[in-house]
Homo-oligomer: A and B are copies of this chain.
Amino acid sequence: MRLSELSRAAGLPRATVRWYLRVGLLHPGTPTAANQARYDETHVRRLRLVRVLLEVGGMSVDAARRVLAAVDRADVSVGELLAVAHRALSTTSPRGDRPEELAAVDRFLTDRGWQVRPDSPARRDLAAVLAALRDLGPDSAPPVDTPAAVDRLLTPYAAAAERIARSEIRNAPAGLTREQLVERVIAGSVLMERALTALRRLAHEHHAIQRYGAGRDAPAAG
């Protein structure tokens, strides 16, 4: 197909598709004439994935390019790919390298039997949260000063995360090609993380309204 057809198939303006080609988020088509090329289904699929990373994941072009490079390398395992995606999604957490909080995170993960890569950015993200809670102090935040307190605080979240990971693995269809698997893993990790965040906010709002009232504006069902 031509660039105009590709743009229509992907639901993106032609200028955007050209820009993705220029910055290397989309592989070039097969040249047919000067300034003309043919594109195929692989381009449509890739554009859909690019939209997920940029629009939903909020990634920079550089971050999305790193994820796509990992997607395209056959020797990158699913575990590594997730780490690359999580690194691209992760924001820098200035307090994520405090040794005491990193040790608390590692203790918690070991207790749960979770194996994660030591360079996993989520490990530092979690340490940054513990550091912020400790800095806030017991007046404004739950205590995190002992392993038991950390355990009490994090366990409901970890149990929820565990249940979700299990159900995702259970529901993953069998017999996927590596390409399909990898796309599903990336799209799933970006999109379903966003879905979980949105649902947590909605549950939080629902329960806050139940407990503390709706305030001046009346709530609406749904």
Contacts and interface: CB of A to CB of B under 8 A. Distances in A.
Given A118-B220, A201-B86, A79 B214 contact: yes
A205 B129 contact: no
B133 A191 contact: yes
A197 B49 contact: no
Nearest to A219: B115
A206 to B, nearest CB: 4
Nearest to A41: B139
Given A75-B216, A77-B213, A204 B189 contact: yes
A175 interface: no
Contacts of A189: 201, 204
Contacts of A195: 126, 129, 154, 157
Interface in A120-152: 120-123, 125-126, 128-129, 132-133, 135-137, 139-142
A40 interface: no
Interface residues of A, number: 104
B80 A215 contact: yes
A197 B164 CA distance: 12
A161 interface: yes
Interface of A, helix, strand, loop or mixed by DSSP: helix
Contact of A122 (B55, B133, B201): B201
* Identical copies of this chain, number: 2
Contacts of A76: 215
Interface string A67-80: 00000000111111
A81 to B, nearest CB: 8
Of A91, A95, A161, A220, the most chain B CB neighbours within 10 A belong to A161
Contacts of A203: 114, 158, 161-162, 164-165
Contact of A185 (B91, B160, B167, B208): B208
30 contacts: A49-B140, A51-B132, A55-B94, A55-B132, A77-B212, A77-B215, A78-B215, A79-B212, A82-B208, A83-B205, A106-B222, A109-B202, A114-B202, A117-B219, A118-B220, A120-B201, A122-B201, A125-B197, A126-B198, A129-B191, A129-B195, A129-B198, A140-B183, A140-B187, A156-B163, A159-B163, A160-B160, A165-B207, A169-B207, A193-B200
